[in-house]
Structure 1
Amino acid sequence: MRSNLSYKSAFWIVSLAIVLAKIAFVFRPELDLFTEEAQYWLWSKNLAWHYYSKPPLVAFLNYISTSIFGVTELGVRINPILFGLGTAWVTYKFGSYLYNEKVGFWASIFLQAMPFWWMISSFHTTDTSLTFFWSLTVFLLYRALKEKKLNWWILAGFAAAVGLMAKAMMVLAFPFLFLFILQEGKLGKKWRNMLLFFLVMSLGFIPILVWNFQNDFNTFKHLANLAGAGGGNEESTASLGKSTAQLFEFLGGQLAMLSIFLLPILFYSIKSVFKYRNQDKFYLILPAILTLISFSFLSFFTEVLVNWPVFSYVGLPIIMSEWVLNQSSKWKKLRNWGLGISIGIPLLLILPDLTFVKSIPPIKKGEKQLFRRMSGYDPLAARVDYLQDSLELSDSFVFSETYHMASELSFYLKDHPQPYMLNMGARRNQFDLWDGMEQFLGQNKDGIFVSWNYDSPGKFAQFDSLLYEEKFEVYFRGEPLRTATIQVWKDLKEFDPYIPETY
């Protein structure tokens, strides 16, 4: 780094350049919200203490951001952009605090080169704010351990409490802290501070406990089902071959989340931690070890999504940065190439086709598959709006068989109406806890059914008559993507949705 450019300035130059690229991604006209993002936005129209599967923070953040920027893609995605930048800043500050600004700068670049960071900082999911508050909590706890000031324990507790309102995974902060202090042999000296941290952190449990007490503890049943302890008729045990495949699929996914181009540096930097038994580096790596072991074990019994443990990886870039700065020029060259490729690939994917490289048929086909679940909803909603006007459907309701479609339609329809989900075989979700289509029985209202998968509501919802039907094809960059069924039905007569037995 040249002497006339500080590492702090370099951090902001690189990070803000990436922010601008992500804003350009938001405004790509052929791409819509990811379906989970649309669902979390819909929650913001129905604010609550908690939701079926997640705590309330994601909904409240969407409520605030869309109140400022409007119900737009930017109004939703400004959250991951800012929280991603915040996570990178915490990494820079942590690395600088532990070592120096040079380590902090390169640590932030390593972080921003990792696919998991691109995922949590591009799409607004619960992992977005969880990762930020986890990194902030871990940093504040480290300062509490080193500086022996009570205020750091309290601040860390508040950061963890907010993190709990992002995602329940934040609870792992306490066992991580306990195990680190235990192996240091300082439990006797630190237990009062640990208790204070836990008590402050526990404030974050209030929303989940209040809501679940009022709603038959649905979230706890849902989490138990995800962990393989759910009831129902589904097979509860898997074959050894399937279990092994799930484990290796999970582990392979974790390597991909950390970037295959950075794996040599990651491997040797982790190896050095165990070789020299440095406590500072062990503190950074312990969360990743604990979560990876825990979820690897769980993946042997049930499906574990690739994103579940990624929040705990934020300490790894600091270890990698410090290690490689003490190596030969060959390692630094490998670092530069690895970082360049790891950042260049996502930039190529998210930016508009400025160079026409993405117009090459194989690349265009790959991009079409990659963004399949993020395309077609805006024009589909525009078509539904048009039909409502042309058919003079002044008092109609919109429904689909999935919460994905229902949420996307609500976001893109001009008046953002509350949508409805007709369960035709899906697991429980937030729609099961809201008022459903049963309220329209015998009310002589028109229902608009929209689906990628079904030709009609079938036996699950019987209407007086079919007023209109069409197949609507959506496109991705001029090429056919998929076809939706749109039906307008008159007067709901019978309502018999599928009742799932599992959570």
Structure 2
Amino acid sequence: YMNLLTRELLGVSELAVRITPIVLSFLLSILTYLFVRRVFDQRSAIIASTLPQLTVGFAINSILMTTDAPLIFFWSLTVMVLFFAFERNSTWLWLFAGFLGGLTFLSKYPAVFLLPCALVYGFLFRRELLKDYRPYFSLLPAIGLSLPVLYWNYKHDFVSFRHVSTLASKSAGLFNIDSFLEFMGGQLVLLSVIPFLLLPYIWLKGLGDRKKAFFVLFSLLPFLFFAGLSLFKKVEANWSGFAYFSALVLVSTFLSRSILLVPAYLLSLLLFIFLHFTPLLDRIGLGGILPPQRDPTKIGIGWSELGRTVSEMREKGEKIVSPHYQISAELAFYVEGNPRTYCINLGRRMNQYDLWEKDYEGDAIFVDYRPIDGRVLSASEGIIEERVVPIFWRGREIRRFYIYRLKNLNKVEEEMPGSY
């Protein structure tokens, strides 16, 4: 819905895609300042509203429109309102918290952590509220907003929940210290060095204070869950990122009275610069630390060039087909006229394209990371034109696209999804 709104206002453009996380980040900074100033003090508020913008985790979600951008925004707002709801036990605050929690769930499913975090805090510090009827009013708007998601999943065999389950169990093992260390390293990068190293002490000390314990539990519990999960499977660094709003509030209160304040800003700024502008590493002879093939920014490179090439080859409005949803989605944006694109299954897990009608018969353009699959070629009457587009980043080839204009492509014999 956010993308729909910005597209209607700004048309199909990169600005329309990028502006939502920018606006959400700006609003969150203002609201964070007002919130922390009221709960703690002005110095902490200034730090809490500015330092996160220099951390990699929050900065990335300030410029990239992923589901994490609205998740972080609405999670943070829900935590703010829940804090006041616990303090005042006001019916309208509980209802408002539930409403924001519902929006958080619509953004991304990790919103479910709100409930156990609130229950644990209530049980440990505000047990009398658990006997009051008012806190449970928060469930009404939360469940109401979640019903469309639940109903859609019911109609589609709970496919999105199966997807989350697959992510949570994929590559699971008995004990994997490597994935744990990789997860912890990712958290250090996301939070920056000093905030990450301070957190264990801040969490432990904060549990002794009722007010700070609220922020401890809303960050520590999700962190412990994903850290524990990383002992058994690979956990992406960003999975726990939403919970660090509360953690950074605590870090800000600590740094407001610490000599580490300036170093924290400087180190965060350095990480921010070098991870957002990775070619600078090559300029100073440190490119080996993060070579182009492992550079996370490479994912955004080459799509406009691919779109131009496909636009040149697409002489008669040919359908555009790929076995990768990333390619199909990028071409829907970068190809002239923004045509509908299709994603066929040649051996992958299920994605959203499998839920949509696949009407790609006729002359078509097929795009892949490798030479054309025999099943695709045999389903057509032959290749009319083919091109190879190598993509370079920081002086090295990071990927190449194989593009084929096919005559009269019929339905390709697809595989059943291997997983969700």
Could you state the TM-score of these two structures normalised by the residue count of structure 2?
0.91
CA distance in 1, matches of 2:15, 2:37: 32
- Aligned-partner residue type, residue 418 of structure 1: R
* 1:291 to 2:208 alignment: no
Name 1:66's counterpart in structure 2: 7
Decide which of 403, 407, 415 is 1:490's aligned counterpart: 407
Counterpart-to-counterpart distance in 1, 2:166 and 2:375: 28
Which residue of structure 1 aligns with residue 48 of structure 2?
107
CA contact (8 A) 1:472 1:485 kept: yes
Deviates more, 1:490-499 or 1:264-273: 264-273
1:151 and 2:92 correspond: yes
Distance 1:67 1:99 in 2: 41
Aligned to 1:418: 340
Alpha-carbon distance, 1:361 to partner: 6.2
Distance 1:158 1:249 in 2: 36
State the SS of the aligned residue for 2:380.
strand
Spell out the pairing of 1:248-287 with structure 2 (5 A cutoff): 248-274=181-207, 277-287=208-218
The letter for the 2-side match of 1:270 is: W
Aligned-partner Cα distance in 2 for 1:473–1:287:
45
Match of 2:241 among 299, 306, 310: 310
Query: Any conservation in 1 of the 2:313–2:405 contact (CA below 8 Å)?
Result: no
The answer to whether the 8 Å contact 2:95/2:140 transfers is no
1:185 CA drift (Å): 4.6
Deviations 1:279-311 (A, max 9, x none): 111100102111112222322333322111111
Mean Cα deviation higher: 372-381 or 88-97 = 88-97
Cα distance between partner residues in 1 of 2:119 and 2:206: 20
CA contact (8 A) 1:112 1:343 kept: no
Q: Which residue in 2 is equivalent to 1:221?
A: 162
Q: Contact 1:427/1:500 (CA < 8 Å) preserved in 2? A: yes
Specify the SS of the correspondent of 1:308: helix
1:64-213 aligned at under 5 Å gives the runs 64-187=5-128, 191-213=132-154
Structure showing greater relative contact order (alpha-carbon pairs closer than 8 Å, 6 or more residues apart):
1
Unaligned 5+ residue runs, structure 2?
A: none
Query: Does the aligned pair in 2 maintain the 1:126–1:166 contact within 8 Å?
Result: yes
For each residue in 1:445-502, what CA deviation from the matched residue of structure 2 results, as whole angstroms up to 9, or x when unmatched? 21101122x2103225521111111212334477654322111111124521121232
Q: CA RMSD in A?
A: 2.5
- Report the alpha carbon displacement of residue 414 of structure 1 after superposing the two structures with TM: 1.1
| Change in 2 beyond 3 A, CA 1:413/1:465 | same
1:390-435, CA deviations, whole angstroms, 9 ceiling, x for partnerless residues?
xxx3241011110011111111011111111122211110011111
Name 1:339's counterpart in structure 2: 265
Match of 1:405 in 2: 327
Deviation (angstroms), 1:321: 2.0
Contact persistence 2:311–2:335 (CA under 8 A): yes
User: Does the residue aligned with 1:464 lie in a helix, a strand or coil?
Assistant: coil
How many angstroms does 1:244 deviate by? Answer: 2.7
SS at the partner of 2:386?
Answer: strand
Correspondence for 1:458:
374
- Asked whether the equivalents of residues 55 and 272 of structure 2 are also in contact (C-alpha less than 8 Å), the reply is no
Q: How many residues align?
A: 417
Matched, 1:472 2:389: yes
Asked if the contact 1:110–1:339 (Cα under 8 Å) also holds between the matched residues in 2, the reply is yes
Counterparts in 2 of 1:303 and 1:477: CA distance versus 1, 3 Å: closer
The amino acid across from 2:310 in the alignment is V
Query: By how many angstroms is 1:440 displaced?
Result: 4.2
Aligned-pair CA distance for 1:237:
5.3
Q: Give the Cα–Cα distance (whole angstroms) in 1 for the partners of residues 289 and 320 of structure 2.
A: 32
Is contact 1:90–1:135 with CA below 8 Å preserved after alignment?
no
Cα separation, 2, equivalents of 1:352 and 1:77:
20
Amino acid of the structure 2 residue aligned with 1:318:
V
How many Å apart are 1:119 and its aligned residue?
2.1
**Paired amino acid for 2:404:** Q
- Whether the 8 Å contact between 2:186 and 2:237 is mirrored in structure 1 is yes
4+ residue segments displaced more than 6 Å: none
The percentage of aligned residue pairs carrying the same residue is 27
Change (3 A) 1:413 1:494: closer
Gaps of 5+ in 1: 1-59, 231-235
The answer (yes or no) to whether the contact 2:117–2:218 under 8 Å persists in 1 is: yes
Distance 1:254 1:111 in 2: 13
Q: For residues 254 and 149 of structure 1, what CA distance do their matches in structure 2 show?
A: 36
Partner residue in 2 for 1:430:
352
| Partner secondary structure for residue 402 of structure 2 | strand
Alpha-carbon offset, residue 358 of structure 1? 6.2
User: Which segment is superposed worse, 456-465 or 314-323?
Assistant: 456-465
> 1:188-242 CA deviation, whole Å, 9 max, x = no partner?
56541221011221122112112112212211222222222x8xxxxx75253xx
Other structure's SS at 1:502 match: coil
Partner amino acid, structure 2, of 1:213: Y
Conserved 8 A contact 1:226-1:302: no
Q: Over residues 354-396 of structure 1, what are the superposed CA-to-partner deviations in whole Å (9 max), with x where a residue is unaligned? A: xx886556559958442221111101111111122xxxx3241
Deviation at 1:249, TM superposition (A): 2.0
| Amino acid in the other structure paired with 1:86 | L
After superposition, the Cα gap between the structure-2 partners of 1:73 and 1:350, relative to the gap in structure 1 and judged at 3 Å, is farther
Tell me the equivalent position of 1:32. Answer: none
Asked if structure 1 preserves the Cα contact closer than 8 Å seen for 2:129 and 2:135, the reply is no
